[in-house]
Structure 1
Amino acid sequence: MNVLARWSAPFALLLLVAAPGCSNPAADVTAAKVGDAQPVPGESDATPADAGLEAEAEESDAAPVAADEAALAAAEEAAFDGSNSSIDFVGSKLVGSSHDGGFKTFTGRFVLPAGGDSIRSVSVTIDMNSIWSDNDRLTGHLKNEDFFEVETYPESEFVSTAIVADTSEGGTHEITGNLTLHGVTKSVSFPATVAITDEAVSLDSEFKIDRTIWGIVYGSEADVRDNIINKEVVIRLDVDAPRGAEAEEAAE
């Protein structure tokens, strides 16, 4: 499987305070499209105002719902975590050095329809206290109120809302989903290379997000300390979820 540099969200996610010396790692990486959070397929808060209309709607929807339930029953799940996958990031100053980091602990899953030749959805939950970086002092900054406030926001989550074939950004698919980070949920879209074999489902991606959209700033956006840090953070995903016998072996 192609590895983009170990995720390697989102998933994420992140930013860094750096020391002088390296080029900006975000310069030539695709920026994720960010918008308002989207409803997850199959979930709706809409209710008919009239009881008769509601009954009629329920009757007309019965067949599609039954079909959906049958499809879900036949669906396959392929799980992944920090033992077989990675969620990494690179943050940098506007001029100067960069830092590598990521998350050690997370759990996720792909859902495949019957036949297992595509992916219906992907989701991941990240333990924010498992964040690491190449500098211990920086790791402390990332965990405390300077940035991610992991005691207040112990988990981050990504749940896909759409997965479509798309080669325009160099991958095989465009993945859209809701990324909850630092207590804020936004819809993000990013390119990914997805591969499905009898042994595993893999997903590789490299893109960048604007950390400030999730309220991740050093002090405030007007703070001189924050102004020297690049708002854009590179996210690198390398996901490998075993299937079938491979998954059973990994679980033992």
Structure 2
Amino acid sequence: MRYHILVLLLAMSSLLTAFALSNTAEQYTVDTDHSQVKWTGEKVGGSHYGHVAVKEGVLHVADGKIESGLVVLDMSSMVVEDLKGFMKRKLEKHLKSEDFFNVEAYPTATFKIKKVYRQGKQQDEFKVIGDLTIKGITKEIHFPATIALSPTFITAKALITVDRTAFDVRYGSGSFFDDLGNKTIYDDFKLEVNIKANQK
């Protein structure tokens, strides 16, 4: 009787160990030199675009899929690409001011991955759900992404539309100010995300 109990316990222990090993997350570190987030903001009669650097990040992979992760953006690195000289410097300074992203008080923005699951017909088509934090305000967002995962690296691309007013970025918003006319800046801005991460 004791022998059978011992065998059963050993079998259960082996199964639990195998289960734990199969669910051990592998860590991929974001390659900041090959990762970037491009932004586009539109206004009445035009638009501006540029990029912001990825400061750091990590992705956790288990059973061949991303389980969780965190990407940190360096808001002080925000660059305007469609202007030059004085106008370029002026807009960059304004975007970093309290009117917009208040970079001095909030030097980083973060995206925390909560869930990733496959959608669509292609093997690299996924839906990503997570918490975006800008200016200390956190909102859940979800978006489609193209993700390629290998034993040594991950690449992820996504086009994300964000309502800036949800993060208390209201300057020039027609939703909060009247009679702005051709000075109206649209609430939604777009983020074109390109991330590469290497297995640690």
Q: Is TM > 0.5 for Structure 1 vs Structure 2?
A: yes
- For 2:145, the aligned partner's letter is A
User: Cα distance, 1:165 vs. partner?
Assistant: 1.0
For residue 100 of structure 1, the aligned residue among 7, 30, 49 is 49
For residue 204 of structure 1, the aligned residue among 123, 138, 157 is 157
Match status 1:230 vs 2:190: no
- Kept in 1: contact 2:146–2:156 (CA 8 A): yes
- Report the equivalent of 2:195: 239
How do 1:119-138 residues align onto structure 2 when only pairs under 5 Å count? 119-134=66-81, 135-138=88-91
Please give the per-residue CA displacement for 1:104-149, whole angstroms capped at 9, x wherever unaligned: 2421111011x5x211122111221111112221111110111000
- Report the equivalent of 1:118: 65
- Kept in 1: contact 2:60–2:67 (CA 8 A): yes
Greater than 6 Å deviation, 4+ residue runs: none
Task: Identify, as 1 or 2, the structure richer in strand.
Answer: 2
Greater radius of gyration (CA): 2
Please give the per-residue CA displacement for 1:6-53, whole angstroms capped at 9, x wherever unaligned: xxxxxxxxxxxxxxxxxxxxxxxxxxxxxxxxxxxxxxxxxxxxxxxx
How do 1:164-179 residues align onto structure 2 when only pairs under 5 Å count? 164-167=117-120, 172-179=125-132
TM-score, normalised on structure 1?
0.62
- Kept in 1: contact 2:56–2:72 (CA 8 A): yes
- Report the equivalent of 1:77: 27
- Report the equivalent of 1:153: 106
- Taking only aligned residues, the RMSD between alpha carbons, in angstroms, comes to 2.8
Please give the per-residue CA displacement for 1:183-207, whole angstroms capped at 9, x wherever unaligned: 2110000110111123311110112
- For 1:91, the aligned partner's letter is G
Distance in 2 (alpha carbons) for counterparts of 1:217 and 1:240: 32
Identical amino acids, percent of aligned pairs: 29
Q: Cα distance 1:217–1:227, how it changes in 2: closer, same or farther (>3 A)?
A: farther
Distance in 1 (alpha carbons) for counterparts of 2:198 and 2:48: 30
- Report the equivalent of 1:215: 168
- Report the equivalent of 2:36: 86
Distance in 1 (alpha carbons) for counterparts of 2:119 and 2:104: 38
Q: Which runs of 5+ in 2 are unaligned?
A: 1-12, 82-87
Choose between structure 1 and 2 for higher RCO, CA contacts under 8 A separated by at least 6 residues: 1
The number of equivalent residue pairs is 175
